[in-house]
Structure formats: C-alpha cells, structure tokens
Chain A
Amino acid sequence: MSLRIVVTVKYVPDATGDRHFADDLTVDRDDVDGLLSELDEYAVEQALQIAEDADDAEVTVLTVGPEDAKDALRKALSMGADKAIHVEDDDLHGTDIIGTSLVLAKAIEKAGFDLVVSGMASTDGTAGVVPALLAERLGVPQVTLLSEVSVEDGTVKGRRDGDAASEQLEAQLPAVVSVTDQSGEARYPSFKGIMAAKKKPVESWDLSDLDIDAEEVGLDGAWTKVDAAAERPARTAGTIVKDEGEGGKQLAEFLASQKFI
C-alpha cells in the first residue's frame, strides 16, 4: 500500500522585509511579500527523499492560510510534491497556535496519512510547537526536531540533537515528524518541476469541509490575545573606530570602561 505523506507548510512574510503588525495586532500579511517558510523547505525535502526511498508513496503538501498561501503550495509542488491542499476561510483570520493545530489536524485526518512531516518552526511565529500539538491531536507518536530521518518497514527513525545529548529515536507509523535546518539542503525547483507543478491538483477546503465551527478559530476563537505591540527602539548609534594598529587595545579600553574587564 502506498505511503501517504502529508507535509505541513506555512506561507510567511519574508523575514528580510519590513515585518510588522496590522491594526488588529495580527501579523500583517499584506504589506510584506510572502513565501514558503524556508524552514518548511527542509520538511518538503525530507518528505520527497522518504518518498523516493519507498516503493510507492504520495506526498501531499498542506497549508492553512490566506489566498496568497497558494504560492507556498506551488513552490512545494515544483520541488516535487504530488498534490496540494489549501485550507482557506475568511473566518481563519487571527487564528492562534492551538486553533491552527486543530485545523491542520482535521485536514490531515480528512486527507488520510501514514506520516506527517513538518518544519522545526515557522519563521514568523517561531513557536516550534505545532508538530507536537499535531501528534497530541492525532494520537500518534511525535518524532520531532530531527537532523536525520528515515522510514523503513513502517518504522520512522531519526536523530534529535538536543542541548545535553544527541538522541536516536524510533516510532511506528503513523507518526508526526519535524525536521531541522540541519537535515540537509532543500532542492531547487527545476524548470521541468515548475512546469509540471502547474498541472498538479490543488484542492481548496474551507471550515465547513472540516466540520469546524467558526467560533473555534479566528481572532475571536483564540485562546491567547496580543494586547500591545511596539517596535523595539533603535539602538543608539555606537562608536565605530577603524583599526590602525591599535584597534584591539581601543576595544579593551572600551570594555574596561564598561567594567567587563
């Protein structure tokens, strides 16, 4: 039977752009160009490699996001994913992390899965907890933050590099994994891949397709609330000197004046 892999990918505002908040204190997704979160490219890459190693596998990319989030799906399809699911609904605006995990979990269940592959964190929210939440909701093992991953005979194995130790992990499918940016460079879409992606199916689902009430998600359904957001004051301009042979000594003088030595 075919190995069904679902990759969760997020469409995020470009980190090198001028990211800010909208008036309702949600992340402004209109003024800054969006893209497939770079950290989710690693998830797509590992999913494709796992699929290539399997006899028979199908890779579905899934996103929950606004209209433009289709761009993220297109990119993943052009890298080689087989099909895509876009969960889009006006009532989703302002959904928090718990709500996002609900929508993703319902969509993953509806799609059918043996393996879910997520990124280590979204580059806008950076919480890094959605994969653990998906495992909790789906009732399957979490094998997260892997810098190495493989699937064989219904078992997923991987290496998790933590602060204190590096751990070898193992779980039976179905399971949720997340991979880090140490898992291996993501491939670039080829011209052929980009052309092929245009013909691949993208399904659109809304909340009613997933049997989710509007009250459970969105800004009003959120279990957390952002009360205030302020731009960090720019750092006051420092002293910059050019090294003319004494740069190290001048720096030492500065450090001494600040009582570091």
Chain B
Amino acid sequence: MAEVLVYVDHVDGAVRKPTLELLTLARRIGEPVAVALGNGAADTAAALAEHGAVKVLTHDASEYADYLVVPKVDALQAAYEAVSPAAVLVPSSAEGKEIAARLALRVGSGIITDAVDLEAGDEGPVATQSVFAASFTTKSLVIKGTPVITVKPNSAAVEAAPAAGAVEALAVSFSEKATGTKVTGRTARESTGRPELTEAAIVVSGGRGVNGAENFAIIEALADSLGAAVGASRAAVDAGWYPHTNQVGQTGKSVSPQLYIASGISGAIQHRAGMQTSKTIVAINKDSEAPIFDLVDYGVVGDLFDVVPQLTEEVKSRKG
C-alpha cells in the first residue's frame, strides 16, 4: 500500500489533536508515515503509533527553534525523498501552510490548502474545501506531482488504529537558506487552562455587545460552566477587550465545534467565515435583525447581560 507522509504538529513531544485527525484521513489513502521534528520529536511516537502511523521519522536540531520555517521544509523534503509518498498531509496552521507550500514548489507538486475533508479517488485524493466565507463547498484535486494538502482542525474524528510506529532517525542536511530568518526572541503564550479554540467541542464568543474587557468575565463564566473555549469577534479584539489569539473569523481562527454560542456579535461575513460550519449555532443579541440570526438553531433576542448570567446559572444547577 502507498505511503502517505504526515507532518506532525507537536509541542515538546505532545502531539496536537489536528495531527491525530490527519492520521485518520491519511489511512483513507494509504499507510501513514509520520514526520516529527524538533524538541521531543521521538516522544511523539507512542501517540502516533496508537493512531495508525506505521513509521515515525524523527529529527531534532536547534535550527528548528532558532530559524523560521525553512529548516522544517528541508527536513520534510528529506523525508519526502526517503519515502516517495503518494501524498503529503500537513496541518493547516499558519506555519504548516507555509511549510507545505514551499515543499510543493520544491518537488514540483500542486498544493491544496485548508481542506476540510479528504477521500481517495480514481485520480488521487479528493479534497473538500469550504470557500467564500464557507458559503460554497468545492472538491479539488492535485493534478501535477504528489498531492500536498493542508487540512484544517476538526476535519475528521480521531480514531485509534494501532500500528507499528517504528521510530527511525531522519537524515537531514540543512540548505544554505535554512538560517535566513533568525528567531531572536520567543514569548510563550500563557495557558488559560481552557480548551484550545480550534479543537474545542464548544466555543462561547463575545463581540462588541460585551462592551468592555471586564465584562468578558461573564462570557468566560458561561464558557467555564460548559467546559468551552472562549472566542471573540474582531470588534472586541480591536477594542482591546480580548487577545487576538482568540479572534474567530477570516483573519482569526476558523472553528467548527459541536456548539457555537455568539453573544453580542452581529454576524458579519468575515466573522461567519470562521464559524459558519459549526454544527449547532446559538446567538444572543438584542437586535432581532442581526444577520447572525440567519444562521442559528436557537436564538434569543435580548440583552446579553441578562441572558448570559441566567444561562450560566441554569447550566451550573443542571450539571449539579
């Protein structure tokens, strides 16, 4: 069976969920061979094997942390040349897309970004994409070279499928260009203890209607009662009420949770672009004409300062 190269997104050896989803998709088109780079690379093997990786190629070097993107492209290319895969799958993070694009160009392959589903087809893998702010769904193919496809989080279920997951050291020699962009400083983001926005089953978001940084406490309280991640509209982020890392929409994160709760958000096209594919959508807005109500499964026309705290109390008492 053909091998499919899967680029592993991990933090010091802890594999992030979108990579496990990629393994599910990779198994539809071949045998997953994972590529894990940087600090803790070898520690990823157990989780990857558990989810179907037949082989795990690892390499660690200081270049991965000290220089932007290119060392990882060199390594993925080395893996590509060692394996001659039928396809290359990369998580659709900002960095993942850049790595994938440069690899595609180097090896003379077409690239598809931001797939939300992937299936085997007669002419190679068929990628589903959600375009024009999620108002259209397309099916696309790579028709030159080896398909290089980046896949968004939440595109498939994580499935256990134990495989050998044999760890092999990858031989990498860095190109002259690898050290072109130096990382001179890094400030890690503080963890909030809440689920990762793009991975969460429930997202609770606040917009301009929240009217102040301090008021985001009521959005957070609802999120915590549901075990949810917190999101924000760009208006709330631009006002400085919530960090940009929590922005949902075209220039923020795309989320596709089981449940999305929007409070004080009007539902502009650029916001919808990042949440429209959520399974169940709920909104609280005092304007009954707000476009967000066109999307909802359940909407409450009312003041979020009344509705949200009441909902939080009710959730808490029902959960006991």
Contacts and interface: CB of A to CB of B under 8 A. Distances in A.
Interface of A: 15-16, 19-21, 25, 39, 96-98, 101, 120-121, 123-124, 126-129, 132-133, 135-137, 139-145, 147, 157, 160-172, 175, 180-182, 222-232, 235, 238-243, 245-252, 254-256, 258, 260-261
Contacts of B70: 142
B259 A260 contact: yes
A237 to B, nearest CB: 8
Contacts of A142: 68-70, 98, 180-181
Contacts of B113: 97, 127-129
A15 B270 contact: yes
Contact of B141 (A136, A224, A242): A224
A143 B245 contact: no
Contact of A224 (B143, B189, B310): B143
Contacts of A25: 138
Contacts of A182: 244
Most chain-B Cβ atoms within 10 A of its Cβ — which of A21, A101, A255? A255
B38 to A, nearest CB: 12
Interface of B: 11, 68-70, 73, 93-95, 97-98, 100-102, 104-106, 109-114, 126, 130-145, 177, 180-189, 202, 226, 244-245, 250-251, 258-259, 269-270, 276, 280-282, 284, 288, 293-303, 306-315, 318-319
B294 A235 contact: yes
Most chain-B Cβ atoms within 10 A of its Cβ — which of A141, A145, A180? A141
A238 B181 contact: no
A256 B69 contact: no
Contacts of B134: 232
Contacts of B95: 162
Given A140-B180, A226-B139, A238-B296, A20 B301 contact: no
Given A127-B113, A224-B112, A169 B184 contact: yes
A151 to B, nearest CB: 14
Given A242-B301, A243-B303, A251-B284, A230 B136 contact: yes
Contact of A168 (B177, B185, B269, B288): B185
A171 B313 CA distance: 52
Contacts of A242: 288, 300-302
A235 to B, nearest CB: 6
List of 8 A-B pairs having minimum Cβ-Cβ separation, nearest first: A243-B302, A248-B310, A223-B110, A141-B180, A168-B185, A252-B314, A129-B101, A248-B311
B136 A21 contact: yes
Contacts of A248: 300, 306-314
B301 A168 contact: no
A94 B250 CA distance: 23
B269 A16 contact: yes
Nearest to B201: A260
